[in-house]
Amino acid sequence: MAQVAACTLACAGGVWALISAPAASGAEIATAEVNVREIDRTYAADGVVEAVRQSTVAAQVPGRIVEVRVDAGRSVVRGQVLARIDEREAAQAVAASQAQRARAEADLANSRVNYERTLRLVEQKFVSEAALDKARADYKSARAQSEAARAGALQAGAAKSHTVITAPFSGVVSARLVQVGEMAAPGREVVTLYDPTRLRVVANIPQAKLAEVRAHAAGAAPLVELPSLDRWVKANGVTVLPSTDSRTHTTSVRVELPGDLKGAYPGMFARVHFPVGRTSKLLIPARALVYRSEVAGAYVVGDKGEIHFRQLRLGEPAGEQGVEVLAGITRGERVALDPVAALAQMKRGGR
């Protein structure tokens, strides 16, 4: 029989013993020894992924929408144009305000010259003080009108700039809420976007479990299970909100997700496993498991390389450390890490 080669397979919280076991026909199959390991005892709470930074961008001026440049799923950068509103009316308002400003500035220049002339004539005793008072009042009035015209021009220019709707931050468009040709109005929602680098899971914890979760929050970070992605990730932080729902008697907890997490988006289901202590469990590597309808099992490799399928009763998953086994296998037995290869080998020569 070929010599058995031993190596290690690293996993979170422990090390699986990986052994290349000779099968009955001489081909080697990678196996791992089922063993009892000390792991975190956890409390699982269902939650929903949400974006820390999410915004529904709305129109600020009325007008017909003439262009929409993005759609749901599109990545955008800060300042990128999302949509355009017909700017013809706004452009006419800008032209009118600029004309009014030019007229007000001309009136201001004329009243300034008149005031200075009147001031010199008063000094020479050619006109009365009443004429000077009127010239001074006209000058002040013209200056106020000039400032009002300048503000009106700036306001018209700002309104015209609002016909171009841009992204307030870099992110992903999650919803497009308008179509070309529709009428926009102040407050009309155009698109919704979120920042995919800042996501969190919001879960609700019963008050009866809250003290236990808080007691172990500083010791170990919770693990977040994302079933749709078939991934487990370690949380970056936990925030317990200082309020409780009076109807359900639960407290909301925010669990920060890593910034480089790919594939997650707001609304996705997640399950948070909060550590509440330590316990010992019999674990089997997750990749060694085989699911046939509602039956779970694994291919057990004997000392002489014989392979046979064993039905198992499983407990709770333990993240990357494996899955708890309640019945069907004993400590020290070895299971094939490649069920497909083990099945093919068993059909060729194993039992």
Mean pLDDT of 34-41: 78
- Tell me the average pLDDT across 157-178: 91
> Which two tokens mark 308?
């046979």
* C-alpha closest to that of 74 among 4, 170, 154: 170
Range 246-257 average pLDDT: 91
pLDDT score recorded for residue 310: 86
pLDDT at 213: 83
pLDDT greater at residue 324 or residue 193: 193
Per DSSP, the residues of 117-132 read HHHHHHHTTSS-HHHH
Residues of the chain with pLDDT > 70, as a percent, come to 91
Tell me the mean pLDDT in the region 184-206: 93
Rounded Cα gap, residues 46 and 190, in angstroms:
32
pLDDT of residue 346: 79
Asked whether residue 16 carries a pLDDT value surpassing 50, the answer given is no
Rounded to whole angstroms, the Cα distance separating 183 from 188 reads 9
Residue-wise over 146-180: b if at least 16 C-beta within 10 A, else e?
beebeebbeebeebbebbebebeebbbbbebebee
Residues counted in the chain:
351
Confidence class for position 13, pLDDT limits 50, 70, 90 = very low
Averaged pLDDT, 75-104: 89
Mean pLDDT value of segment 241-245: 89
pLDDT at 105 over 80: yes
Token representation of residue 218: 């500083």
* Numbers of helices and strands, H then E, in the chain: 4, 23
Among 144, 150, 158, 61, residue whose Cα is nearest residue 99: 150
Q: What is the 3-state secondary structure (H, E, C) of 12-63?
A: CCEEEEEEEEECCCCCEEEEEECEEEEEEEEEEEEEEEEECCEEEEECCCCE
| Structure confidence at residue 349 (pLDDT) | 66
Mean pLDDT of 73-82: 94
pLDDT tens digits for range 215-236:
777 767 888 999 899 888 889 8
pLDDT digits (tens, 9 = 90+) for 325-347: 888 888 888 888 888 888 888 77
- The 8-class DSSP code of residue 311 comes to E
The pLDDT of residue 178 is above 90: yes
Structure tokens at 279: 């316990």
Q: What is the pLDDT of residue 51?
A: 94
Instruction: Give pLDDT, residue 317.
Output: 77
| Sign of the dihedral defined by the CA atoms of residues 335, 341, 344, 350, in that order | negative
Give the per-residue pLDDT at 182. Answer: 92
More confident residue, 19 or 336: 336
Mean pLDDT of 237-256: 90
58/186 Cα distance (integer angstroms):
7
Q: What is the mean pLDDT of residues 69-82?
A: 94
Give whichever of 113-127, 195-209, 287-301 has the largest mean pLDDT: 195-209
Position 168 confidence tier, pLDDT thresholds 50, 70, 90: very high
Per-residue confidence (pLDDT) for residue 188, from 0 to 100: 93
Element (H, E) at 223: strand 223-226
Where do the domains of the chain lie, and which CATH numbers do they carry?
5-39+280-348 (2.40.420.20), 46-53+195-278 (2.40.30.170), 62-82+168-194 (no CATH), 87-162 (1.10.287)
Task: Write down the mean pLDDT value for the chain.
Answer: 84
pLDDT computed for residue 66 by the predictor: 93
pLDDT in tens, 276-293: 877 788 888 888 888 888
Instruction: Using alpha carbons, list the distances in angstroms from residue 251 to 85, 118, 169, 243.
Output: 44, 77, 31, 6
* 2 pLDDT more than 50: no
Q: Answer yes or no: is pLDDT of 22 > 70.
A: no
pLDDT score for 217:
72
